[in-house]
């Protein structure tokens, strides 16, 4: 996600790889002449071992180069606030943390399907009714072939 003032609507998988390995440093390189200013990209990461950072690294198969990061956000709320306050910022948020203060951008060109994340459901008794229906729906929708 980026700041709403940023004209970027999508990043390619290769651009994400370049961004998080500190090879892509300018929004002009991403946007060409559409860039509002030729500004350095300010990217944010989570601390090493953070579950969101781990999911990002596993899901996109990248290893961010934290030495080039502008900041390390301890949690999604801090990530959202940092990107919302800086038009040159970029970061990753779980979808449930998105709001109008930041803009979701599309990822295109990934050479693989995003990995599935396991869901553990614990119940004091056997599920029934709408809970049973919901769990069944998850299994049918996301079950591996």
pLDDT single digits (tens) 33-50: 555 555 888 888 888 888
> Of 128, 27, 124, whose CA–CA distance to 136 is shortest?
128
Which residue stretches of the chain are H helix? 13-20, 27-31, 51-60, 76-84, 129-142
pLDDT single digits (tens) 87-139: 989 998 888 899 999 999 988 887 766 556 677 778 788 888 888 887 777 76
Domain boundaries, the chain: 10-108
Grouping H, G, I as helix, E, B as strand and the rest as coil, residue 44 is strand
CA distance 127 to 50: 31
pTM for the model? 0.70
- Which CATH code for domain 10-108? 3.40.190.10
């Amino acid at each position: 996600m980026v700041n709403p003032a940023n004209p970027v609507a999508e990043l390619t998988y290769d651009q994400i790889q370049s961004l998080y390995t500190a090879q892509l440093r300018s929004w002009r390189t991403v946007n060409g002449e559409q860039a509002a200013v030729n500004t350095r990209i300010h990217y944010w990461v989570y601390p090493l071992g953070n579950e969101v950072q781990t999911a990002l690294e596993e899901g996109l198969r990248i290893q961010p180069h934290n030495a080039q990061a502008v900041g390390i956000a301890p949690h999604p709320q801090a990530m959202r606030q940092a990107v919302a306050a800086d038009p040159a910022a970029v970061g990753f948020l779980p979808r449930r943390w998105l709001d109008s203060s930041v803009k979701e951008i599309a990822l295109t060109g990934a050479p693989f399907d995003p990995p599935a994340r396991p869901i553990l459901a614990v119940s004091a008794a056997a599920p029934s009714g709408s809970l049973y229906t919901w769990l069944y729906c998850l299994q049918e929708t996301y079950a591996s072939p």
